[in-house]
Amino acid sequence: MKGAPAPHITIDPAGVRVRVTAGGEVLADSREALALKEGDYPVVYYVPRKDVKMDRLARTGHRTYCPFKGHASYYSLKGGAENAVWTYEDPYDDMLAIKELLAFYPDKVDSIAAG
């Protein structure tokens, strides 16, 4: 198994509709999002690409590393915030549930509404 064990991370179906808006436009609208909880951090919603307006995103060369999830790749909002969206395209085994799903930085979009 690749990656460090991550007992402090849980991934469950969000069970609610998740909508992300930026620049007054809905970028993501999903009833299939996953809710990732990591320790004391706020919940992060991971949204399937099919529920995201991918044409509004531009891939960047930015990458980061998490010892529990693996390497993350990033997208910027076209005409908006840089590196506002991240994805794990080849996550560690324990995190396969979030593979290729997209997460949005709350401070780089107008809103992330779950309910």
Residue 58 or residue 94, greater confidence: 58
Confidence of residue 8 (pLDDT cuts 50, 70, 90): confident
Residue 27 belongs to a domain: yes
Residue 108 belongs to a domain: yes
CATH of the domain at 23: 2.170.150.40
Residue 112 near residue 23, CB atoms below 8 Å:
no
Residue 73 in this model has a pLDDT that exceeds 60:
yes
Domain hosting 41: range is 9-114
What pLDDT, on a 0 to 100 scale, did the predictor assign at position 3? Answer: 66
Q: What is the mean pLDDT of residues 72-86?
A: 97
Residue 96 belongs to a domain: yes
Residue 4 belongs to a domain: no
Q: Rounded to an integer, what distance in angstroms lies between the CA atom of residue 88 and that of residue 37? A: 16
What pLDDT, on a 0 to 100 scale, did the predictor assign at position 5? Answer: 62
Residue 1 belongs to a domain: no
Residue 60 near residue 31, CB atoms below 8 Å:
no
Count structural domains, the chain. Answer: 1
Q: What is the mean pLDDT of the chain?
A: 94
